[in-house]
Structure 1
């Protein structure tokens, strides 16, 4: 028995340096980035930017594999099931790793246990805009108006359970106001009806609604980030009136759980170098995103905190998807 244990220990010790050497040499072949959305959108654009930068850095191809469906759950589940060898990487977002864990009654993965977060890539806020006929220009004025007539005013969203919807629910909870939610099949129809006056306001994705605010079609009230946003410093943050308010859309990358830490750290370092370049920052900014590097540990902690933040709004709204 002791002889077998001795040889097993010797084999393990002999194997360990080889595994560490392989990890240090990673990547030695192409790396797949699973994108849980369809081609052509802003997420695809940002994923392509990242793959290009990493391919140049490592001298190995990083390529996108599109796996859309079920609110991103199909693609994200495939990441969780993949071999943790560093050659399958997943694009994760506020939906997959902060909203869906509470929104869905059951998911085919555990968003904390089944993943090894690498780094956030970027983030952008929503923007609270109102129809110009609404007699408010600030958050305090809006809160006072809605409180005077509870249930009279409505906000549009891109659908039940989206960040637009839940930003509104979070606003209601944290301000003690009562508004009607009007869901649409997308952010485009939602902002169109705010412009047309059919709905009073929306917490729209900033890249989508800011041009309408600049064009005078809607009035910008405040951003949902913790502070004023870099490309619109004249617009205040809701948090300036409602301390602690934060509803941010974000995206990052994660490996399957049990991926070697050396590989995780090596990729995180490369991503942080890429995000520090003016090229990457300018390309992200063109889509309204701010480069936001985080260490693997910081990113994991942020995901846990953001899950709880969104969970409060989801539970308050009584929203769930079976």
Structure 2
């Protein structure tokens, strides 16, 4: 075969492949989509996934089947999604623990949080709330910082365990406020609440759904919320960032596909996700879950991922945080 014939044949094959891919993307989806949730059923991520999946399915003309694959702090399910075929029929709803925090805590992760996934859309943020006992002399974030500076090493904070967003929120606070506060890890914040109420613990950065009820019941005092701006999820609670500029700590939720997901598929899922996040029924449920809807473009999500990973890597490294 002559050289120009070979080139013609290869060009024709390439054009055919591009056309086939384009047609496939236009018809996508043609069957149900598997949405992997790397955490147990009944948790915040699972509830979010089931709320999102129903509406996403309606927008995309298919069914999204939620598949819980818990284990190793979300690593097992995330790894399963990373190794799936990049055809758009396996997606992942994951969080900061699997893509921003975990990779900086565990050098033996089975996947690369950046290279092995295609970011589609950030869909939500779950902020935390800074709680203190009613017996605390501090009524504001600034007063608490002043109190801690006057008592270095004598105050403590509770967490739900080493390497959790609860601990990292407190360590980020300590770093920015330049205070020395002792860490007391618990097996979940629910176990820490009684000690916080009694005054054995001085502060806790808890999730809104579990922390706010104790504030409403008058058992605890809320000093600040971990968002940059005031949030309707915690009305009347001051952002910590008002006192510590730039302070922000959220559990984010995001949609991913395996690496190599076709751009047309990414765009299709992203557009549907943004539409779903404006649905009044979805917004009502997210508020009850303590989650703010986000949305945006894949590029914005990718930029956020890089920023979050760098932030937590710095804190984990400088504060010598480990899983043990």
TM-score range, shorter chain: over 0.9
- Give the deviation of 1:44 after TM superposition: 1.2
Structure 2 equivalent of residue 131 of structure 1:
133
Q: CA deviation at 1:43?
A: 1.6
Residue 58 of structure 1 deviates from its aligned partner by 2.0
Q: CA deviation at 1:122?
A: 1.2
Q: What is the alpha-carbon distance in structure 1 between the residues aligned to residue 71 and residue 276 of structure 2?
A: 29
1:65-106 CA distance string (max 9 Å, x none): 111111101111111111111010011201111111211122
CA distance in 2, matches of 1:160, 1:138: 27
Report the equivalent of 1:299: 301
Deviation at 1:42, TM superposition (A): 2.0
Could you say which residue in structure 1 is the equivalent of 2:46? 44
| 1:136-147 → structure 2 map (5 Å cutoff) | 136-147=138-149
Whether 1:29 aligns to 2:69 is: no
User: TM-score with structure 1 length normalisation?
Assistant: 0.97
Contact 1:160 1:183 in 2 (8 A): yes
SS at match of 1:33: strand
1:237 maps to 239
Give the corresponding residue for 1:170: 172
Where do residues 185-196 of structure 1 align in structure 2 (5 Å cutoff)? 185-196=187-198
* Number of residue pairs the alignment of both structures matches: 322
Distance 2:100 2:282 in 1: 25
* Runs of 4+ with >6 A deviation: none
Structure-2 separation of matches of 1:43 and 1:302? 19
Equivalent pair of 2:159/2:186 in contact (CA under 8 Å): yes
Displacement after TM superposition at 1:177 (Å): 0.2
Q: State the 1:6 CA deviation.
A: 2.7
1:15 aligns with 2:28: no
1:279 and 2:288 are equivalent in the alignment: no
Task: Indicate whether 1:227 and 2:216 are aligned.
Answer: no
- Corresponding residue for 1:208? 210
TM-superposition CA deviations, 1:45-78 (whole Å, max 9, x none): 1101111001212221101111111110111111
**Partner SS state of residue 230, structure 1:** coil
Pairing of 1:76-87 with structure 2 (within 5 A): 76-87=78-89
The answer (yes or no) to whether the contact 1:36–1:73 under 8 Å persists in 2 is yes
Q: Within 1, Cα distance between the matches of 2:322 and 2:298?
A: 30
- Alpha-carbon distance in structure 1 between the residues aligned to 2:48 and 2:255: 12
Cα separation, 1, equivalents of 2:106 and 2:227: 25
The alpha carbon displacement at 1:232 in A equals 2.1
Question: How much has 1:244 moved relative to structure 2?
Answer: 0.9
Distance (whole Å) between structure 1 residues aligned to residue 45 and residue 85 of structure 2: 24
What is the Cα deviation at residue 191 of structure 1?
A: 2.0
Q: 2:69 aligns with which of 62, 67, 70?
A: 67
Contact between 1:150 and 1:177, CA under 8 Å: does it hold in 2?
Answer: yes
8 Å contact 2:225–2:234 — kept in the other structure?
no
Gaps of 5+ in 2: none
Q: Residues 45 and 94 of structure 2 are in contact (CA less than 8 Å); yes or no, is this contact kept in structure 1?
A: no
My pick for the range that moved more, 91-100 or 188-197, is 188-197
Distance apart, 1:252 and its partner CA: 1.3
Residue 310 of structure 1, CA deviation: 1.5
2:319 counterpart residue number: 317
Question: Cα offset for 1:308?
Answer: 1.1
SS at match of 2:135: coil
Instruction: Say what the alpha-carbon RMSD is for the aligned residues.
Output: 1.3
* 8 Å Cα contact 1:35-1:67 kept in structure 2: yes
Cross-structure match for 2:292: 290
| Deviation for aligned residue 1:231 | 2.5
